[in-house]
Structure 1
């Protein structure tokens, strides 16, 4: 499959934002919902490094990305999106494994994930466990399941 993971480049911020919105749309959300999420899903050039944004690249094309945010020992998997054309092909697993390894190397002991309902089964399959709920950053009154993943496992 020839997939590599590398740090996001500054000029990729807007492309990653659009990838996030395309990926979210894969789950059948309507245009109004997606527009409500746009601000929260927007990445800016100046924050890519601080958010530890990493991309999955296949044959020169970006097919997914993730962010690992916060400071040790407690981090946050802030964003993880895979291009809809390759969902289900193992790219999410590669990105998640990258986050776990990176978190461990940086001294994190765990990270939380505020999961879209469609992504909960994936994160649970990756070893994350539900620990509560968190308010949506986009939709007032909507809550998301918060999961926790230990990285010392």
Structure 2
């Protein structure tokens, strides 16, 4: 499995993957249709939302995730796995990739508005619950909010020199 940036021409297929993944939890067609607008991935937002996909040679795209926002605060906007690939480590790989990218881009605080069924996954991955927020799609429904806070590394001259931002090394100069 490899993780790569999503491509604009994949937006429709990725939206359908997201909806299939959501349906895995037993939501009916009416519920999914109510969520469609919020879960739709548009071609023009792939780069801004930092959307990535996990893929395998067979059967192709296995999952999708995103890291959204501007450092130091961001959010996991998407983390969905093809139902046939659930339980195979795809979600873990996507989540880990997004968290590594968050650190690399200088994020210190990440929030996740989680589906209630996905909350145990995020908790196993180290996110901690901090509250609830109204659903953007279903009136009266609340979603768990989780967070990940990165403790800055203060163990090197690079941290002091860059104030915690990622250093760029050119020979022996950063």
TM-score class normalised by the smaller sequence: over 0.9
Aligned residues: 151
Q: 2:52 aligns with which of 54, 64, 73?
A: 54
Uncovered stretches (5+) of structure 2, i.e. residues with no partner = 153-174
Partner secondary structure for residue 34 of structure 2? helix
Deviation string for 1:26-80 (max 9, x for gaps)? 0000000000000000000000000000000111610001011000011010011
TM-score normalized by structure 1?
0.96
1:86 aligns with 2:117: no
Structure in which a larger fraction of residues adopt strand = 1
Deviation, 1:151, is: 3.3
Task: Describe the shift of the 1:56–1:152 C-alpha distance in structure 2 as closer, same or farther (beyond 3 A).
Answer: farther
RMSD after superposition: 1.0
Matches of 2:9 and 2:151 in 1, distance apart?
34
**Higher radius of gyration, 1 or 2:** 2
Q: Which consecutive aligned stretches of 4+ in structure 1 deviate over 6 angstroms post-superposition? A: none
Partner secondary structure for residue 88 of structure 1? coil
Compare relative contact order (CA 8 Å, sep 6+) and give the higher one, 1 or 2.
Answer: 1
Question: What is the match of residue 106 of structure 1?
Answer: 105
